[in-house]
Amino acid sequence: MIAFREAVLPPSAAVEVDIPGMDIQQFKSAIDQICEEKGISKEKVMETIEVAIAAAYKKDFGHKGQNIRAKFDLATGAARVFQVRQVLDETMIKSEEELEAEKEKMAEGALLEISESVEGEKKVRFNPERHIMEDEAKKIQKGIKAGEELLVELEEKSDFGRIAAQTAKQVIIQRIREAERETIFDEFKSKEGEVVSGVVQRVERGAVFVDIGRTAGVIYPEEQIPGEFYRIGQRLRVLILEVQKDARGPGILLSRANAKMLRKLFEMEVPEVSSGAVEFKSIAREAGSRSKIAVAATEEGVDPIGSCVGQKGTRVQAVINELGGEKIDIIEWSPDQTKFIANALSPAKVLNVEIKEEERAARAEVPEDQLSLAIGKRGQNVRLAAKLTGWKIDVKGAEAVLKKEDSETKPADALTSSGEAKEEIKPADAQEDSGEAKPASASESSGEAKEEKPKKRGRKKKISDSEISSEN
């Protein structure tokens, strides 16, 4: 608890802060410790002490309406207390007529704003505790002008009461807390969009609270990876999505499902991405399931896909492990939209892409046996490709019959020349409806489609056996 005792500091009156059992050196050490632990500047702590002294003085010896200010000297432990009065002239004071008009408006229930400070042309109601006329002020301090503050030093007092000391204590606690909150807010506000490491503190009603250093953030259910389980004490990386001011302190919103999380993880794992040699053009993500990333090289001689994948897939695998096994497709971005759309449908092989600029729509043709692969499970592959490219994509199946001798040369042409692809696919256009229906009803994976062939071969073999037996 803070107490105060009289100190003889001629010629001016002073009040000395005395903390029982602690000398001035210990007091200085305590201030330094607070600054280090709370991350608050020494100037802020000194300001807090001065406000606390002023509050204690006003509690025991001040008058209603007084504006009291204290100045504390850390070297000596002495504090001087002043009454602050605003210097006014006749033009700054409200007249009797103006005061009567205000009373009438207040009686009518109108909202009235009364300023206690001189701002522009605003006038104030004269208060002898807060204001002083310019002529009187010049008698105390020569050269002072209207609009300035006059500091009138108050007489020294001793033996501050218990209530005054408690008031000073509460002021110090409150202002230190506010300063700490402000510091934390500024620190993490500058880290918005960054990935930090944290430890899970608790899980309440689906929300996960994570300790990220000087404070804790929260991951709401919509920002969590679906199916991911969080346990207390678990260490994980999180994205600082947003920092908000709250009455109880800064509210820090975290995320593990945001697409920015993926970008930042690759920046941490891939030096080419962090240096700018490899650029992320677009990201399409369904957290916990699958993601597609379009990358491009900004420097010659750099392989964007190889840089992200790493030797033996070590780099991309590190990101996958951090995200709980989420599949990641890395494709090369191209300014040619037809090529970009064809790449986006990877791992399916695209024969031809037709685009309609005005509708921002594209039609991709793939072999019948890869139609389910292009669409993906529950349409995931084509959905992510559409998000990645920004085009509405319609996938069609076509029976591409290529000659054996041309199989090594023509596939590349099929991707670049829409005219050649059309000619090759034309024979199958008559069966387009039946060809599209088969993959959708059969299965969503190419592996399931392959299982039909042995059944057909077995059925044929059975018929031939029956024919042989009938002949016998």
List the one residue out of 56, 302, 261, 74 whose CA is nearest residue 161.
56
- pLDDT for 64: 80
- The average pLDDT across 62-67 equals 81
Across 262-416, where does the E strand assignment appear?
Answer: 278-286, 290-297, 327-332, 352-356, 361-367, 392-398
What amino acid is encoded at 227 in this protein?
G
Number of domains in the chain: 4
CA distance 379 to 392: 13
Question: Is pLDDT of 415 > 70?
Answer: no
pLDDT tens sequence across 123-166: 788 888 888 888 888 888 888 888 888 888 887 776 778 888 88
Beta bridge pairs of residue 297: 278
Q: Do the domain assignments include residue 113?
A: no
- pLDDT for 158: 66
As a dihedral over the C-alpha atoms of residue 219, residue 223, residue 228, residue 229, rounded to 10 degrees, the angle is 20
- pLDDT for 109: 57
Look at phi and psi of residue 310 and say left if phi exceeds 0, alpha if psi is from -120 to 50, else beta.
Answer: left
Both tokens assigned to 242 = 């947003």
- The average pLDDT across 262-282 equals 93
Beta bridge pairs of residue 73: 78
Neighbours of 434 (CB within 10 A): 10
Residue 420 has, within 13 A of its CA and on its CB side, a CA count of 13
Q: Do the domain assignments include residue 62?
A: yes
425, 418 in Cβ contact below 8 A?
A: no
CATH number at residue 290: 3.30.300.20
- pLDDT for 37: 83
Q: Do the domain assignments include residue 11?
A: yes
Question: Is pLDDT of 89 > 80?
Answer: yes
Reduce the DSSP state of residue 454 to 3 states and report it: helix
Are residue 298 and residue 243 in the same domain, yes or no?
A: no
Both tokens assigned to 352 = 């031809």
Beta bridge pairs of residue 361: 356, 392
Residue 410 belongs to domain spanning? 336-472
Q: Compute the mean pLDDT over every residue in the chain, rounded to the nearest whole number.
A: 77
Are residue 176 and residue 272 in the same domain, yes or no?
A: no
- pLDDT for 1: 33
- Name residue, tokens 């991951």: 219
Are residue 164 and residue 227 in the same domain, yes or no?
A: no
- The average pLDDT across 23-44 equals 84
Look at phi and psi of residue 134 and say left if phi exceeds 0, alpha if psi is from -120 to 50, else beta.
Answer: alpha
Are residue 341 and residue 328 in the same domain, yes or no?
A: no
- pLDDT for 211: 94
Neighbours of 417 (CB within 10 A): 13
Model confidence at 107, pLDDT cuts 50, 70, 90, reads: low
- The average pLDDT across 360-379 equals 91
Model confidence at 70, pLDDT cuts 50, 70, 90, reads: confident
Model confidence at 423, pLDDT cuts 50, 70, 90, reads: very low
CA distance 448 to 174: 67
